[in-house]
Structure 1
Amino acid sequence: MKTRGKILALSTAALMAAAPIASFAEAPVNGAEIINEQALDQNATIADNAMKVQNLTTLIDAVKSAGLAEELMGEGPYTLFAPTNDAFAKLPAEAVNDLMKPENREMLRDVINAHLVEGEFTPQMIDELLDSDESPEEVVIPANVEVDRDSNTVVLTTVSGEQIRVEKGTGEELILRDGMGNLVTTLAKDIEQSNGVMYFVDGVLMPVS
């Protein structure tokens, strides 16, 4: 339990230092190239496509260590907010190395599952949910979704019960806030898969518990 607290504390501190919270809608937006984009197949699963992308090697190693590859090859649909290698590099190397150890497998699963949501939440779906107060009869709000009218955000509940607050950015990007208050931004474009949709993100979302 002490090790878990140490890792989460280090990880959260690193993220807070890298992306200080000033204003939810004013988070910085960074560009990102999808390396091997031409190899991606919309008929493949999230896991199959993620393994082809050179920007996601740390995430793939984590997914394999956590034993979640089979889940990401399942029927879904899922939405995965996939941290890039640069996103993981913002965390202390000691924390990432500790997470990959067999004895910390459950902890690693918690971190990965904090990025995974049941359902296919494309940018268009987010738009529809935010506009659902104008045409509620046309939009079915899933059980793992709340729409916060006051802040114009969509709250997604992950497969592990964590909450991610999603807001539209100034362009095509989405801005995400986890339960610890960390902000991350989607990069490049969303990528549709046979079992859902995947986004690149510039930071690691942290579980609260």
Structure 2
Amino acid sequence: MAKMMVTPELSEFTSMIVSVELADLMLNSEGPITVLAPTNDAFENIPQAIKQDLSNPDFKGVLTTLIKNHIIEEDLTSSALLQSIQKNGEYSIKTMGGASLTAYLNDGEIMVKDSNGVTAKIGKSDILGTNGKLHMLDAVLSMTK
């Protein structure tokens, strides 16, 4: 996922990956993995108090979980996701962090919702990396399972 590390609109997410020492996992994992990466704009929309907590070294475990809740240990293209949603009305996803996500369509857009009701739209998708795919999200999913 070296591609993600050099994508300017994902600099906030990638700096968090580096800060909790998950860069090796992202870069060297055999994969396939799919990363649902929140954009910098997505991080701008979370409350300031939560942003401060995420930058606090005492919250490293929480930040690690947040990042892992955006990683799926499978190759999930947007077309495969769309087909599964169209077939079943929605598609359940389990993340590396143990969170359960639900993908569904809203006005033709692929949306992802976590168990706390936080919803994100998939924007740019199917960005190929050496060990998987990257889809950009317009919101940050929850830090809990």
Structure 2 Cα separation of the partners of residues 168 and 78 of structure 1: 22
1:90 aligns with 2:27: no
Partners of 1:66 and 1:108 within 8 A in 2: yes
2:25 corresponding residue in structure 1: 71
Task: State which structure, 1 or 2, has the greater radius of gyration over its C-alpha atoms.
Answer: 1
1:158 aligns with 2:112: no
1:198 corresponding residue in structure 2: 134
Q: State the SS of the aligned residue for 1:108.
A: helix
Question: What CA RMSD, in Å, does the superposition of the two structures yield over aligned residues?
Answer: 1.6
2:125 corresponding residue in structure 1: 189
1:1-209 matched pairs, under 5 angstroms? 46=1, 48-73=2-27, 74-130=29-85, 149=88, 152-171=89-108, 173-209=109-145
Amino acid at match of 2:75: E
Partners of 2:63 and 2:143 within 8 A in 1: no
* 1:168 shift after superposition: 3.0
* 1:155 shift after superposition: 0.4
Provide TM-score, normalisation by structure 1: 0.64
Amino acid at match of 2:102: R
Unaligned runs of 5+ in 2: none
Distance of aligned partners of 1:107 and 1:98 in 2 relative to their CA distance in 1, 3 Å threshold: same
* 1:94 shift after superposition: 2.8
Partners of 1:81 and 1:199 within 8 A in 2: yes
Distance of aligned partners of 1:202 and 1:127 in 2 relative to their CA distance in 1, 3 Å threshold: closer
Q: For each residue in 1:141-197, what CA deviation from the matched residue of structure 2 results, as whole angstroms up to 9, or x when unmatched?
A: xxxxxxxx4xx11000001110110013433x3101001011110113321222111
Provide TM-score, normalisation by structure 2: 0.90
Q: For each residue in 1:45-75, what CA deviation from the matched residue of structure 2 results, as whole angstroms up to 9, or x when unmatched?
A: x1x1112111111101111111111111111
Distance of aligned partners of 1:170 and 1:76 in 2 relative to their CA distance in 1, 3 Å threshold: same
* 1:128 shift after superposition: 4.1
Structure 2 Cα separation of the partners of residues 79 and 64 of structure 1: 18
Q: For each residue in 1:9-40, what CA deviation from the matched residue of structure 2 results, as whole angstroms up to 9, or x when unmatched?
A: xxxxxxxxxxxxxxxxxxxxxxxxxxxxxxxx
Distance of aligned partners of 1:100 and 1:169 in 2 relative to their CA distance in 1, 3 Å threshold: same
What is the number of residues matched between the two proteins? 144
How many percent identity over aligned positions?
Answer: 26
* 1:130 shift after superposition: 4.2
Structure 2 Cα separation of the partners of residues 187 and 128 of structure 1: 17
Partners of 1:179 and 1:207 within 8 A in 2: no
Q: State the SS of the aligned residue for 2:37.
A: strand
* 1:208 shift after superposition: 2.9
Structure 1 Cα separation of the partners of residues 49 and 4 of structure 2: 24
